[in-house]
Structure 1
């Protein structure tokens, strides 16, 4: 059980680091690794439910932060696309009158 929790903690910490760096490829890989770690913790021979609950609640906070970051990134991309479309429209108008 201790090794499963240790791997879980290391994976969660790596996920936080990847989030801080906005390394989306690493986040995808670490998300998969978190799922495996959770399964390992839940299927361990000795299960401390209180400890697992605390670990999962902590991970939930990480995923909230991740969700916030992805929504922010999506909004930034939408704004950039809007600016690109406005610039294209302005260029078309300019070419009509030149």
Structure 2
């Protein structure tokens, strides 16, 4: 396996670990590293096309998972904020009648 493909595999595995632990700071840093890796992989793509394609497809799968999890987390925060607003409004109404 070429050095570039090995780097992208290591970065992909680290990204999966950060996603599993919901370490969003690490996800952000690894995302930047993935961008650099992809640029390097594309430069090598002509000499090892099949391996490059497989590596990038696996990385794409991780990004799909990342988007799904991040969207779920965002929706959880929206739901929680909605519940907090409802509780605040209920408290205001309670204080009006007490």
Quote the residue 2:9 is aligned against. 9
Aligned residues: 98
The answer to whether the 8 A contact 2:45-2:52 is kept is no
Output the CA distance in 1 between the equivalents of 2:93 and 2:47: 68
1:84 aligns with 2:76: no
Say which SS state the counterpart of residue 44 (structure 2) adopts.
coil
Map of 1:1-98 to 2, 5 A cutoff?
A: 2-44=2-44, 47-98=47-98
TM-score, length of structure 2 as denominator length: 0.93
| Aligned-residue RMSD, C-alpha | 1.5
Output the CA distance in 1 between the equivalents of 2:65 and 2:51: 22
Question: For residues 3-58 of structure 1, what are the alpha-carbon distances to aligned partners after superposition, in whole Å with 9 as ceiling and x for unaligned?
Answer: 11111111000000000001111101101101111111222397211111111111
Structure 1 residue runs of 5 or longer lacking an equivalent are none
Output the CA distance in 1 between the equivalents of 2:24 and 2:39: 23
Structure 2 residue runs of 5 or longer lacking an equivalent are none
The answer to whether the 8 A contact 1:41-1:47 is kept is no
Shift of 1:70: 0.7
Output the CA distance in 2 between the equivalents of 1:46 and 1:65: 28
Q: Which runs of 4+ in 1 moved over 4 A?
A: none
